[in-house]
Amino acid sequence: MSDTVIKVSISVRAATEVDDGLVEAFSRLIPQLSSSSPPPTAAELLSIIDNPNSVLFIAELDGDDDVRSVVGSLTLAFYRIPTGLKAWIEDVVVDESARGLGVGEALNLAAIDESRQRGAKNVSLTSRSSREAANRLYQRLGFEPYETNLYRFGL
C-alpha cells in the first residue's frame, strides 16, 4: 500500500488589490471566524488595503497543480500614541480545510515582521480562551499573556 503525498507550500503576502477571488475568499472565511459579522464587501476590503495604517495579509497554498487558493487572512493595524507606535492583530482566520498546515503561524510571522520593520513598540492581539490551538500558537510564537481588563463599548 502506498500513500499519496501532496506537497503544498504557504505563501503570505499583503493584499494589494480587490478582485472577485478575494471577495469570494472572504465570503468563505469570515463565517468561520464570526457568526455575527457579515463578510466584507469589495469596497470594505479596498478601504482596508488602501489604508496606510493597516495591512491585510492573505495566505495562499501553492499545490502540486500550481493552483493557488486563499486559505487564511490576518489584519494588522497600526496606531500611534504618545508612548510609541503600536500594532494590533485582528481577525485571524484559517480555512478549516487548511488548519494544522502552518498557515496561522505564517500569517502571524508576517505580521510580526511588518511590525518590526515599521518600528512598532509591540504587537498585541486578543484570542478567546476557547480557541485552544490558536492560543498555543500565539504562546509558541512568543506572545505572552498580558494581565489587563478589556472593556468594550458597543455602538
Domains of the chain: 9-141 (3.40.630.30)
Q: In sequence order, which residues have a C-beta less than 8 Å from that of residue 13 and are 6 or more positions away? A: 57, 58, 60
User: What letter would DSSP give residue 119?
Assistant: T
User: pLDDT tens across 12-45, in order?
Assistant: 999 999 999 999 999 999 999 999 999 999 999 9
Of the CA atoms within 13 Å of residue 24, those in its CB half-sphere come to 5
Angle at 73 between CA 81 and CA 38, to 5 degrees: 90
Please write the tens of the pLDDT for every residue from 41-90.
999 999 999 999 999 999 999 765 555 689 999 999 999 999 999 999 99
Provide the whole-model pTM. 0.90
